[in-house]
C-alpha cells in the first residue's frame, strides 16, 4: 500500500468515526425540526437497467409516515420503476442516495431475479452491493467529498434508527459504505463485475 492509498484509508476511517459520533446529534436535530416543514425533493438521477431500459422514478403517497424510502420494481405494464415515498422527510443528500441505491437494484438485475429470502445472506449481499454502487455514483458522478459522505451517513443512521434497526446493523452498513467510498473502482465497473458474475449483461 503506497502513501496515497494509506492516506485515503485513514481519511475513510476518520469519516466513519465522525459519522458514528455525529449521528446522535443528528437525531436530536431531526426530532426538533418542525414536522410540517419537509425537505425539498431532489431531481432523480439517470437510471438504466441491465437490459438497457430506462428506469422511471415515481412518487408514492404510501409508505411509513415520516420515513423516506424507495422501492425498485416493475410496474403493472412491466416497465422498470423506482417508487419514492416520503422523500420530504430526508435531507437531499440522502434522497439522492436512496434513488441510486434503488437504481442499482435495476442495474444489477436484482429486480428481474427471484427474490432471495428476506434478511438471508443473499439478500444482505444484494443490499450491500446496491449501497456500494450508490455511494460510488455520488462520489464519481456528483463529486461527493468526505463532508457530503458524512451527511449521507448521518441521514442513513437517522432513518434506520427511526425504523428500529439495531445499532450493530446500522454500523455494519455504514462501514460497508465507507469502504466502498474508498474503492479505486468506478460505479459502472463495479456494476459490470456483478453482471458478469451473474451471467447477465446488456445484449
Ligand atoms: Zn435495497
Mind listing the pLDDT tens digit for each residue in 64-115? 788 899 999 999 999 999 999 999 999 999 999 999 999 999 999 999 999 9
Q: What pTM did the predictor assign?
A: 0.83
What's the gap in Å between 102 CA and the centre of ligand 1? 6
Burial category of 124 from C-beta neighbours within 10 Å (exposed 0-12, middle 13-18, buried 19 and up): middle
Length of the chain counted residue by residue: 203
What's the gap in Å between 101 CA and the centre of ligand 1? 6
- Res. 202 pLDDT band, cuts 50 70 90: low
d(CA 158, CA 30): 8
What's the gap in Å between 8 CA and the centre of ligand 1? 27
Kindly list the strands in the beta sheet with 56-60, ordered across the sheet, starting from the edge strand earlier in the chain: 56-60, 80-85, 69-74
What's the gap in Å between 34 CA and the centre of ligand 1? 28
pLDDT tens digit sequence for 38-52: 899 999 999 999 999
At 135, give phi and psi (nearest 5°): -75, -30
For residue 45, give the nearest of 92, 110, 91 by alpha carbon: 92
What's the gap in Å between 187 CA and the centre of ligand 1? 16
What's the gap in Å between 115 CA and the centre of ligand 1? 12
- Residue 35: the pLDDT is 46
What's the gap in Å between 129 CA and the centre of ligand 1? 9
Amino acid at each position: 500500500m503506497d502513501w496515497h492509498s494509506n492516506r485515503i484509508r485513514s481519511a475513510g476511517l476518520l469519516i466513519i468515526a465522525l459519522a458514528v459520533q455525529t449521528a446522535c446529534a443528528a437525531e436530536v436535530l431531526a426530532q426538533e425540526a418542525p414536522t410540517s416543514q419537509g425537505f425539498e425533493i431532489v431531481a432523480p438521477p439517470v437510471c438504466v437497467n441491465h437490459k438497457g431500459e430506462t428506469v422511471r422514478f415515481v412518487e408514492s403517497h404510501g409508505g411509513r409516515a415520516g420515513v423516506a424510502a424507495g422501492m425498485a420494481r416493475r410496474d403493472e405494464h412491466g416497465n422498470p420503476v423506482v417508487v419514492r415515498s416520503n422523500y420530504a422527510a430526508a435531507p437531499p443528500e440522502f434522497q439522492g442516495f436512496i434513488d441510486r441505491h434503488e437504481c442499482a437494484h435495476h442495474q444489477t438485475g436484482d429486480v428481474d431475479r427471484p427474490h432471495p429470502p428476506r434478511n438471508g445472506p443473499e439478500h444482505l449481499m444484494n443490499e450491500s452491493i446496491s449501497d456500494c454502487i450508490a455511494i460510488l455514483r455520488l462520489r464519481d458522478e456528483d463529486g461527493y467529498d468526505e463532508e457530503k459522505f458524512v451527511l449521507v451517513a448521518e441521514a442513513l443512521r437517522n432513518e434506520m434508527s427511526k425504523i428500529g434497526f439495531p445499532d450493530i446493523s446500522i454500523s455494519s452498513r455504514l462501514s460497508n459504505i465507507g469502504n466502498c467510498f474508498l474503492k479505486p473502482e468506478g460505479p459502472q465497473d463495479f456494476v459490470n463485475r456483478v453482471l458478469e458474475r451473474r451471467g447477465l449483461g446488456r445484449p
